[in-house]
């Protein structure tokens, strides 16, 4: 069904308001237009590109919530967090994150996203990685969006430790998993 430009732009604004993390490609498919048309519509409507929308959501929602490190030191963009419970971040893999010869993401970027999310989820001024057991499950390439989820599995208040499971996916396929043992300066507040 062909929509008028005005109707498409109204629906585009509503769609982005409901899901600020929708990509231009997804919008183009949804509205059956080219990606360039979506970009022009966004520019005309003064809707920022995806990366800026993610940063805006993160800054508005989580900047004052994360205690263990400055929000701009988290690798990826935090899109959801409940301290001492769970957190989710998004990392868009660019050409600068991959090996030139094969286009595969360097592992330290995936680890950094997972590790910084494990630090960020801790409700303390200081959180440090004591130990990490990680597995890289499949290659990640430029253009992939890595969604990483950290879940606090438990705490040992006597040792000031928090145990966190982290899983990263691309298109719902697991690409990385890790078990992190974190030091914190204080036990949990119950």
CATH code (residue 127): 3.10.129.10
Q: Which residues of 129-145 are buried (b: 16+ CB within 10 A; e: fewer)?
A: eeebebeeeeebeeebb
- Quick: pLDDT tens for 158-186: 999 999 999 999 988 999 999 999 999 87
Task: Examine the domain organization and report whether 173 and 137 are in the same domain.
Answer: yes
Supply the pLDDT for residue 78: 84
Task: Examine the domain organization and report whether 105 and 156 are in the same domain.
Answer: yes
Task: Examine the domain organization and report whether 103 and 39 are in the same domain.
Answer: no
Supply the pLDDT for residue 146: 95
Residue 59: inside a domain: no
Q: Pick the more confident residue, 60 or 86.
A: 86
Supply the pLDDT for residue 52: 76
Task: Examine the domain organization and report whether 84 and 160 are in the same domain.
Answer: yes
Query: At a CB cut-off of 8 Å and minimum separation 6, what does 105 contact?
Result: 93, 97, 98, 139, 140, 141, 142, 144
Residue 22: inside a domain: yes
Task: Examine the domain organization and report whether 167 and 90 are in the same domain.
Answer: yes
Residue 149: inside a domain: yes
Domain range for 19 = 5-47
- Quick: pLDDT tens for 100-146: 999 999 999 999 999 999 999 998 888 899 999 999 999 999 999 99
Task: Examine the domain organization and report whether 88 and 156 are in the same domain.
Answer: yes
Task: Examine the domain organization and report whether 40 and 75 are in the same domain.
Answer: no
Residue 10: inside a domain: yes
Distances (CA, A) of 25 to 21, 105, 135, 177: 12, 22, 30, 28
Supply the pLDDT for residue 72: 66
Residue 74: inside a domain: yes
Task: Examine the domain organization and report whether 160 and 125 are in the same domain.
Answer: yes
Task: Examine the domain organization and report whether 25 and 117 are in the same domain.
Answer: no
Residue 63: inside a domain: no
The total domain count for the chain is 2
């Amino acid at each position: 069904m062909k929509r008028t430009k005005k109707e498409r732009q109204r629906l585009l604004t509503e769609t982005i308001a409901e899901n600020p993390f929708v990509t231009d490609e997804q919008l183009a498919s949804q509205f059956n237009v080219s990606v360039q048309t979506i970009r022009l519509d966004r520019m005309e409507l003064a809707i920022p590109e995806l990366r800026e929308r993610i940063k805006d959501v993160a800054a508005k929602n989580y900047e004052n919530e994360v205690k263990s490190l400055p929000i701009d030191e988290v690798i990826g963009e935090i899109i959801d967090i409940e301290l001492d419970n769970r957190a989710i971040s998004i990392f868009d893999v660019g050409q600068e994150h991959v090996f030139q010869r094969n286009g595969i993401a360097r592992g330290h970027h995936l680890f950094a996203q997972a590790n910084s999310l494990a630090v960020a989820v801790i409700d303390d001024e200081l959180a440090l990685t004591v130990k990490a057991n990680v597995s890289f499950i499949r290659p990640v390439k430029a253009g992939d969006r890595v969604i990483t989820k950290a879940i606090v599995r438990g705490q040992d208040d006597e040792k000031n430790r928090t145990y966190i499971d982290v899983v990263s996916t691309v298109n719902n396929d697991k690409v990385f998993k890790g078990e992190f043992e974190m030091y914190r300066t204080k036990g949990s507040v119950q």
